[in-house]
């Protein structure tokens, strides 16, 4: 818990940096995520009421004239669209009309230099803008709405050439400007703005689509909109200018393709490309997407920032509180929350847009900091457990302890245990006749052997009490066979005490080992002070077992056990009932047993 506050601080600081500081790099990443969602979604159905007439490379080659001389071609186009009864004609073209007098004077000058004669008939035919203006007037008279645009600097007065724009009237004109993000990609559109003197100016696409009454109300509330692109290039119906004019000249009717529709005319293959989430796209198709969004009310509805903040704040705070008790699990839950957030952002896209970068960064910081704290906690816990139990238990039991998530026994736990006490009879006389070095050497050799025996049978060596040993079984890991293992360990210790090896380390002195086993509820845990702690067992069972061991001398036995142990031993044992005894400190009598075969061997040896 020492570093439990780290996750809180990191999440709080990062949250302020992301939502108050609003770093540009994060916004760029959010835009990239938006682009990914578009690309994953792929093409969507576009409004069939929107048609594009494109000026492509084929049209340019077919026209075989400079752009300033396209007036007659535009005139034919306007006439064809008027005959086809289009609803709206939006020209995504900026016209810079040149005075016809200047053009004619220039042609006369060039002809004079070439010593060529220019006929009056030819000069009369060069009416670059006049046929176009006349055709536009007829278009307006036919009932088709003419929408023209102009370039405009934000918050500046509107400058427009009246030679063509006055034909469409002021209310049918708008600006072409398309907003771009910091990385130069077009993702949104400003549908209207105001000039320096407060005059309202609308985007040309908004003017074209404003035939619907509902659009005007929406524009008043939401000037900035996220464009819901319908797909990559050619997601709308695109007709080449060449094919439309040729059909008009051939007398073919264009009603099926154009009647009642909003027609946008612009470059589609040679210039005016905009970077979009789907790659580069002609500007006229961007305007078509805006018109489509306006007609169908399907601009991307981005979740408001305040709701995003409230939602992610609630998620992170709940995770932080959850991590106070379940740190490792909270890391997994944090990853699941991130996956769910991404899933909702992906699946809900096109209906709404749930921002993902800032929430994912917060969740990532939570997962990393909480994961590091959990790792450190687990590492410190495992190291502490290893330091404590490596002295008491075998490696196999230690691995079981480390693999378990249960650490309650560290702070104290009550369980039914088997207590073992082994004591050397005659050790006092032995120690008095030898120097300290020999005594310590004997005890070290003796305890090394019996400690290994106890550990090998799954027991815990609690402590050494002079020449005695206290051990217990069925802790810290529960073991269904703990009674049998305790008995087997006692028999092996007794067997060792009768070996030549034991007589050798005791210098031939006839020392006997008395062992007692008793089962009962006991408390075990890590007990002590900050300077010294021990993993030990306490309780009446230990005291009873100690008094039982002292009866080995009276009954002339090596191993003495209680009735509680015999009831739990599963192996076949020939028990010898010693009787009932009332031990000091216990009101109830206790049944005492020894092993018949062990008692027989002891008797033979004494004989």
- Examine the pLDDT at 581 and tell me if it is beyond 80: yes
Average pLDDT over residues 535-549: 89
Average pLDDT over residues 179-190: 88
pLDDT band at 520 (very low <50, low <70, confident <90, very high): very high
236-258 pLDDT per residue, tens: 999 999 999 999 988 888 888 89
In the chain, what percentage of residues exceed pLDDT 70?
A: 82
**489 membership: H or E segment, kind and range:** helix 482-496
pLDDT in the model for residue 551: 92
CA-based nearest residue to 178, from 289, 58, 264: 289
Q: How far apart are the C-alpha atoms of 79 and 221, rounded to whole Å?
A: 37
Is the torsion defined by CA of 530, 535, 538, 544 positive or negative? negative
CA-based nearest residue to 548, from 499, 497, 503, 490: 490
Q: Which residues have C-beta within 8 Å of that of residue 315, sequence separation ≥ 6?
A: 337, 359, 363
Q: Which residues have C-beta within 8 Å of that of residue 147, sequence separation ≥ 6?
A: 88, 89, 90, 91, 168, 172, 173, 174, 204, 207, 208
pLDDT in the model for residue 373: 84
Average pLDDT over residues 427-453: 90
pLDDT in the model for residue 90: 93
**Higher confidence at residue 407 or residue 71?**
71
Given a contact cutoff of 8 angstroms between Cβ atoms, the answer to whether 111 and 281 are in contact is no
- What separation in angstroms does the CA of 177 have from each of 23, 152, 204, 236? 26, 7, 9, 21
pLDDT in the model for residue 1: 46
pLDDT in the model for residue 151: 79
Length of the chain (residues):
607
Average pLDDT over residues 453-481: 89
pLDDT in the model for residue 161: 54
210-224, 294-308, 343-357, 467-481, range with the lowest pLDDT = 210-224
pLDDT in the model for residue 389: 56
* Pure H helices in 192-326: 204-209, 213-221, 241-249, 255-258, 283-296, 305-323
- Examine the pLDDT at 604 and tell me if it is beyond 70: no
**544 membership: H or E segment, kind and range:** helix 540-549
Q: Which residues have C-beta within 8 Å of that of residue 259, sequence separation ≥ 6?
A: 84, 85, 86
Tell me which fold the domain 405-606 belongs to: Alpha-Beta Plaits (3.30.70)
Backbone angles phi, psi at 347, to 5 degrees: -70, -30
pLDDT in the model for residue 607: 38
Q: Is 72 exposed, middle or buried (0-12, 13-18, 19+ CB in 10 A)?
A: buried
pLDDT in the model for residue 101: 62
pLDDT in the model for residue 52: 95
Is the torsion defined by CA of 106, 109, 115, 120 positive or negative? positive
Radius of gyration of the chain (CA): 48
pLDDT band at 351 (very low <50, low <70, confident <90, very high): confident
Average pLDDT over residues 369-395: 66
Averaged pLDDT score across all residues of the chain: 84
For residue 562, the cross-strand partners are 592
Angle of helix 327-347 relative to helix 305-323, nearest 10 degrees, comes to 160
Given a contact cutoff of 8 angstroms between Cβ atoms, the answer to whether 538 and 513 are in contact is no
Where does CATH 3.30.70.1230 sit in the chain?
Answer: 405-606
pLDDT in the model for residue 274: 92
pLDDT band at 316 (very low <50, low <70, confident <90, very high): very high
**Higher confidence at residue 230 or residue 408?**
230
Q: Is 115 exposed, middle or buried (0-12, 13-18, 19+ CB in 10 A)?
A: exposed
pLDDT in the model for residue 219: 60
* Pure H helices in 390-435: 395-403, 408-411, 427-432
pTM of the model: 0.64
Average pLDDT over residues 354-373: 92
- Going by the DSSP 8-state scheme, the letter that residue 499 receives in this structure is S
């Amino acid at each position: 818990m020492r570093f439990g506050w780290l996750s809180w601080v990191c999440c709080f600081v990062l949250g302020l940096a992301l939502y108050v500081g609003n770093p540009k790099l994060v916004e760029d990443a959010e835009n990239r995520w938006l682009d990914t969602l578009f690309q994953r979604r792929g093409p969507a159905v576009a409004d069939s009421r929107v048609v594009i007439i494109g000026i492509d490379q084929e049209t340019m080659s077919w026209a075989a004239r400079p752009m300033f001389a396209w007036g007659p071609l535009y005139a034919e186009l306007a006439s064809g669209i008027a005959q086809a009864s289009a609803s709206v004609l939006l020209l995504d073209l900026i016209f810079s009309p040149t005075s016809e007098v200047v053009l004619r004077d220039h042609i006369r000058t060039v002809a004079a230099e070439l010593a060529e004669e220019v006929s009056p008939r030819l000069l009369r035919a060069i009416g670059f803008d006049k046929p176009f203006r006349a055709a536009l007037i007829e278009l307006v008279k036919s009932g088709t709405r003419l929408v023209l645009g102009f370039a405009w600097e934000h918050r500046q007065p509107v400058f427009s050439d009246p030679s063509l724009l006055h034909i469409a009237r002021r209310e049918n004109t708008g600006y072409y400007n398309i907003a771009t993000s910091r990385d130069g990609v077009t993702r949104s559109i400003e549908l209207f703005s105001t000039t320096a003197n407060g005059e309202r100016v609308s985007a040309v696409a908004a003017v074209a689509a404003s035939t619907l009454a509902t659009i005007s109300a929406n524009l008043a509330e939401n000037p900035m909109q996220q464009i819901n692109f319908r797909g990559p290039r050619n997601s709308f119906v695109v007709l080449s200018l060449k094919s439309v004019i040729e059909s008009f000249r051939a007398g073919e009717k264009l009603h099926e393709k154009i009647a009642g529709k909003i027609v946008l005319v612009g470059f589609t293959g040679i210039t005016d490309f905009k970077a979009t989430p789907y790659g580069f796209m002609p500007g006229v198709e961007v305007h078509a997407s805006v018109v489509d969004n306006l007609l169908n009310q399907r601009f991307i509805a981005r979740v408001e920032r305040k709701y995003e903040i409230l939602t992610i704040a609630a998620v992170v705070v709940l995770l932080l509180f959850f991590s106070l008790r379940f740190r490792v699990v909270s890391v997994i839950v944090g990853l699941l929350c991130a996956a769910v957030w991404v899933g909702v952002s992906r699946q809900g896209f096109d209906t709404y847009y749930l921002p993902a970068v800032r929430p994912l960064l917060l969740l990532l910081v939570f997962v990393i900091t909480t994961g590091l704290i959990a790792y450190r906690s687990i590492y410190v816990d495992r190291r502490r457990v290893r330091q404590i139990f490596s002295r008491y238990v075998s490696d196999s039991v230690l691995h079981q302890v480390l693999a378990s998530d249960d650490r309650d026994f560290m702070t104290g736990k009550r369980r039914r245990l088997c207590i073992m006490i082994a004591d050397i009879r005659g050790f006092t006389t032995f120690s008095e006749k030898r120097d300290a070095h020999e005594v310590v050497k004997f005890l070290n050799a003796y305890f090394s052997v019996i400690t290994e025996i106890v550990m090998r049978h799954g027991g815990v060596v609690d402590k050494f009490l002079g020449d005695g040993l206290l051990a217990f079984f069925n802790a810290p890991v529960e073991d269904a066979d703990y009674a049998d293992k305790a008995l087997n360990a006692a028999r092996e210790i007794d067997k060792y005490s009768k070996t030549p090896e034991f007589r050798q380390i005791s210098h031939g002195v006839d020392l006997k080992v008395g062992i007692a086993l008793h089962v009962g509820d006991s408390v075990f845990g890590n007990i002590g002070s900050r300077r010294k702690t021990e993993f030990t067992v306490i309780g009446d069972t230990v005291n009873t077992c100690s008094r039982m061991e002292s009866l080995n001398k009276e009954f002339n036995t090596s191993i003495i056990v209680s009735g509680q142990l015999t009831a739990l031993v599963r192996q076949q044992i020939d028990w010898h009932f010693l009787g009932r005894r009332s031990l000091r400190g216990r009101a109830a009598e206790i049944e005492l047993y020894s092993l018949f075969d062990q008692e027989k061997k002891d008797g033979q040896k004494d004989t």
